[in-house]
């Protein structure tokens, strides 16, 4: 049997010739060529899906041009060694002239100083004798007042720090941080800062934040990377803004988290609401929701806020938060006294990892602190049960607190990591297959082949779902294409059923 | 830019009479610019860049897709051109060499990406998707582009160049034969082999079930 050439099959697949063609006749009895045609179709579909080439951005072209011009100039100079010629080109003439003039001035001044004037005579000057006066130190303002005198600047105070640095130096508890300070934690580190108005900012491990603006009326923090937790009591006269790359988060009086990793920013809200602003859109995010900024797209996600009755899931030892994560009770909004230091001292001491002899088996997981947190502030006088941390096997127990709420950095970090794993996980073969099939539905629908699109859509919807974060988005896409094709075919009733299914999707 | 700083107008590019070939500077200004750049005139190189950058961009974009590395890759193409101009004698077309360099630089980038862990695809800020773009559609397009690039990275340089010119840039075999400086039949035969290799590469990256096969 003679098989058609690959070129012939390629052309046939591209042209989608009539079934009566000889190639079609051959395919009816040649499974090998059917396989080849199937492969060709997939390749052609991939090529057809490519977007048109956009025009060369002017800014990009200019940047490259400037860099090339500089390199070309240097190459010219080094190649010919005629640097002296280049000196006298207009580009270099001015700098050379100015330098020469300055040198001449310096020489002139030096000569003037060295040469005494004819009229100059040494004159002896006797010091005037005065009675010694007592030296009194000039009065100084207290440090805090000095910093804020004539301005509404405030400083942040470190309330807890572990494996943390500010401006490259280790951070000490009660250290004051001025505007412009950059604080960073190492892996396994953590840090809490407090501001006079009651705002608290916490960093988990491997995080870096800059205090870009510390003013009584406006606070601005910039997240370089890692996780920043914010607890912000609402003040009408003050705005808190967190910047993470292109994403700007404006607080509306709440608790929220901003996490920045390579290529993605996550904003999750535990209580209240924030306004998230990106280069393309602005969105208000309420409690229990999160948004992820990635690839120029703002995607809405659910954010797990454990309920008081939810049993905390077991945490695998390898996923347990590092030993240095600390718990911190949230202080009353009005409390900013030094008594807090004592509370925090005992809190931090209590959170030190216990010796390995402590039994790990019977301890709750890190989520327990969230349960306690979730109970408050409805009942601020309730004393929560002792909470625990796991530390890869060892456990520590801290005293309960009768304060308003908690914000457990360890639990927060674990939840962010879970979400990131779900978002960043590489595709398994099945997931890739599922994603490709979803693309195929769209390709067929865009081509106008509704019959084929509907067949593919039905197959896709019957297949088991994956656990990827993109799965709901894929399902919406397939259902949308199914709806489109049903409408095109005039099957309105079925299209309406699909519409209802779409409306029910998250 | 550089022309103003050096006090020269863009048209003041002198070409030595001995360098003038059958294709005169008037009919092939790029050749004249390349010769002048070879002789050390940085202005000429800047002009060469400005006249060919759109072409280079199109070829690079088709090979590597939308990536933040495009700016570096475009610069790399012209740096390689700058180095190669040392031995340029004016007997071949500048565009031929430029396109070849673009495909080479693009394929090397794809191959190096294949060796590294999968990076998050980011577009240059200037190419950011508009608000009106359907997010799902954008994602589908990116996935298709990633598949094409991975398959393309498995092709040899000659086949990849012809495949990119024909099936990605839409050029005809006659135009491609001028670009790559070889006969039309050679172009057709390379294209045929390139399509076969590309199809096999895509099939290897795609599960059988997705191709509609048991």
| pLDDT for A300 | 76
CA of A475 vs chain B CAs: smallest distance (Å): 10
Find where tokens 């905390």 sit: A312
Taking chain B (214 residues) in consecutive chunks of 10 residues, what is each chunk's mean pLDDT?
Answer: 33 37 56 84 85 90 87 92 83 81 87 62 54 68 84 86 88 84 89 93 76 54
The string of DSSP codes covering A61-107 is: HHHHHHHHHHHHHHHHHHHH--HHHHHTSHHHHHHHHHHHHHHHHHH
Of the CA atoms within 13 Å of residue A24, those in its CB half-sphere come to: 8
CA distance A439 to A41: 13
**Chain A residue with Cα closest to B38:** A76
Question: Is the distance from CB of A244 to CB of A258 less than 8 angstroms?
Answer: yes
Residue A357 CB neighbours (<10 A): 6
> Taking CB atoms and an 8 Å cutoff, what residues of chain A touch B57?
53, 56, 61
> Taking CB atoms and an 8 Å cutoff, what residues of chain A touch B119?
263
pTM equals: 0.39
Q: Do B140 and A71 touch (CB under 8 A)?
A: no
> Taking CB atoms and an 8 Å cutoff, what residues of chain B touch A474?
136
| pLDDT for A457 | 92
CA distance A92 to A47: 52
| pLDDT for B210 | 55
Burial of A299 (0-12, 13-18, 19+ CB in 10 A): middle
CA of A159 vs chain B CAs: smallest distance (Å): 36
pLDDT digits (tens, 9 = 90+) for A398-435: 333 323 345 678 778 888 877 776 665 666 777 778 88
In A323-416, the DSSP E strands lie at 387-391, 394-398
> Taking CB atoms and an 8 Å cutoff, what residues of chain B touch A437?
210
**Chain B residue with Cα closest to A293:** B122
Percent of chain A with pLDDT over 70: 61
| Residue A152 in this model has a pLDDT that exceeds 80 | no
| The pair of three-digit structure tokens given for residue A60, joined into one six-digit string | 């990009």
Q: Do B135 and A297 touch (CB under 8 A)?
A: yes
| pLDDT for B27 | 59
| The pair of three-digit structure tokens given for residue B9, joined into one six-digit string | 């107008």
Q: Do B71 and A63 touch (CB under 8 A)?
A: yes
| pLDDT for A228 | 92
| pLDDT for A386 | 35
Which of these ranges, A8-17, A149-158, A184-193, A312-321, has the smallest mean pLDDT? A312-321
Q: Do A90 and B7 touch (CB under 8 A)?
A: yes
Q: What is the interface pTM, i.e. ipTM, of the complex?
A: 0.76
Which of these ranges, A177-181, A500-504, B8-12, has the smallest mean pLDDT? B8-12
| pLDDT for B197 | 93
Which of these ranges, A91-100, A294-303, B168-177, has the smallest mean pLDDT? A91-100
Residue A46 has its nearest CB partner, among B126, B128, B148, at: B148
> Taking CB atoms and an 8 Å cutoff, what residues of chain A touch B78?
64, 68
pLDDT digits (tens, 9 = 90+) for A309-343: 444 444 344 443 333 323 333 333 333 344 444 44
| Residue A487 in this model has a pLDDT that exceeds 90 | no
Buried b (16+ CB within 10 A) or exposed e, A218-233: ebbbbbebbbbbbbbb
C-alpha B134, offset from chain centre: 29
Higher pLDDT, B27 or A174: A174
Q: Could you give the 3-state DSSP secondary structure of residue A343?
A: helix
| pLDDT for B161 | 86
pLDDT digits (tens, 9 = 90+) for A24-76: 888 888 888 888 888 898 898 888 888 888 888 888 888 898 888 877 776 65
CA distance A163 to A168: 12
> Taking CB atoms and an 8 Å cutoff, what residues of chain B touch A432?
207
Higher pLDDT, B11 or A469: A469
A-B contacts at Cβ under 8 angstroms: 184
- Residue A8's nearest CA partner among A40, A43, A32, A49 is A40
Percent of chain A with pLDDT over 90: 7
Q: Do B42 and A470 touch (CB under 8 A)?
A: no
């Amino acid at each position: 049997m003679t098989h058609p050439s690959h070129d012939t099959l390629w052309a046939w697949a591209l042209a989608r010739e009539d079934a009566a063609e000889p190639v079609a006749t051959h395919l009816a009895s040649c499974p090998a060529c059917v396989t080849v045609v199937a492969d060709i179709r997939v390749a052609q579909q991939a090529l057809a899906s490519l977007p048109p080439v956009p025009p060369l951005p002017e800014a990009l072209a200019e940047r490259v041009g400037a860099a090339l011009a500089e390199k070309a100039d240097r190459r010219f100079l080094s190649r010919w060694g005629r640097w002296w010629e280049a000196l006298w080109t207009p580009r270099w003439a001015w700098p050379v002239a100015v330098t020469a003039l300055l040198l001449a001035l310096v020489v002139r001044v030096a000569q003037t100083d060295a040469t005494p004037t004819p009229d100059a005579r040494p004159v002896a000057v006797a010091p005037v004798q005065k009675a010694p006066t007592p030296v009194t130190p000039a009065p100084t303002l207290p440090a805090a007042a000095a910093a804020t005198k004539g301005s509404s600047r405030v400083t942040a105070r470190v309330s807890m720090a572990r494996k943390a640095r500010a401006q490259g130096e280790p951070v000490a508890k009660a250290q004051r941080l001025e505007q412009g300070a950059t604080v960073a934690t190492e892996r396994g580190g953590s840090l809490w800062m407090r501001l006079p108005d009651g705002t608290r900012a916490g960093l988990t491990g491997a995080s870096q934040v800059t205090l870009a603006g510390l003013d009584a009326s406006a606070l601005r923090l910039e997240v370089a990377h890692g996780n920043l937790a914010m607890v912000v009591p609402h003040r009408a006269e003050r705005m808190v803004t967190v910047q993470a790359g292109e994403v700007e988060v404006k607080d509306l009086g709440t608790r929220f988290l901003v996490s920045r990793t390579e290529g993605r920013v996550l904003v999750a809200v535990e209580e209240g609401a924030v306004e998230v602003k990106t280069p393309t859109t602005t969105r208000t995010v309420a409690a229990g929701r999160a948004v992820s900024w990635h690839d120029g797209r703002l995607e809405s996600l659910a954010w797990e806020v454990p309920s008081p009755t939810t049993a905390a899931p077991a945490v695998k030892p390898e996923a347990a938060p590092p030993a240095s994560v600390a718990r911190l009770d949230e202080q009353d909004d009005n409390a900013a006294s030094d008594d807090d230091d004592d509370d925090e001292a005992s809190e931090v001491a209590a959170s030190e990892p216990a010796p390995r002899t402590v039994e790990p088996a019977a301890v709750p997981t890190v989520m327990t602190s969230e349960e306690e947190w979730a109970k408050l502030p409805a009942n601020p006088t309730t004393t929560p049960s002792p909470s625990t941390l796991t530390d890869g096997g060892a456990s520590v127990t801290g005293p309960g607190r009768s304060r308003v709420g908690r914000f457990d950095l360890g639990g927060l970090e674990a939840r962010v990591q879970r979400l990131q794993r779900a978002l960043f996980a590489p595709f398994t073969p099945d997931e890739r297959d599922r994603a490709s099939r979803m693309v195929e539905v769209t390709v067929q629908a865009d081509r106008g082949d509704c019959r084929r699109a509907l067949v593919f859509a039905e197959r896709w919807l019957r297949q088991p779902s994956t656990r990827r974060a993109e799965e709901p988005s894929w399902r919406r896409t397939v259902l949308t294409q199914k709806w489109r094709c049903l409408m095109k075919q005039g099957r309105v009733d079925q299209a309406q059923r699909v519409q209802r299914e779409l409306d029910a999707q998250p | 830019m550089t022309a103003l700083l050096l006090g020269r107008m863009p048209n003041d590019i002198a070409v030595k009479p001995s360098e003038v070939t059958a294709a005169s500077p008037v009919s092939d200004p790029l050749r004249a610019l390349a010769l002048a750049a070879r002789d050390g005139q940085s202005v000429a190189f800047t002009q060469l860049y400005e006249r060919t950058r759109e072409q280079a961009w199109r070829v690079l974009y088709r090979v590597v897709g939308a990536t933040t590395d495009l700016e570096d890759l475009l610069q790399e193409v012209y740096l390689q051109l700058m180095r190669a101009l040392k031995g340029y004698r004016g007997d071949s077309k500048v565009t031929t060499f430029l396109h070849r360099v673009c495909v080479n630089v693009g394929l090397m980038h794809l191959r190096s990406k294949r060796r590294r862990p999968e990076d998050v695809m980011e577009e240059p800020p200037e190419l950011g998707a508009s608000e009106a773009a359907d997010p799902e559609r954008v994602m589908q397009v990116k996935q298709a582009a990633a598949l094409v690039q991975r398959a393309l990275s498995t092709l040899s340089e000659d086949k990849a160049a012809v495949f990119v010119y024909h099936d990605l840039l839409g050029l005809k075999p006659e135009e491609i034969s001028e670009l790559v400086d070889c006969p039309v039949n050679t172009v057709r035969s390379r294209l045929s082999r390139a399509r076969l290799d590309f199809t096999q590469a895509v099939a290897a990256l795609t599960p059988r079930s997705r191709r509609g096969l048991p």
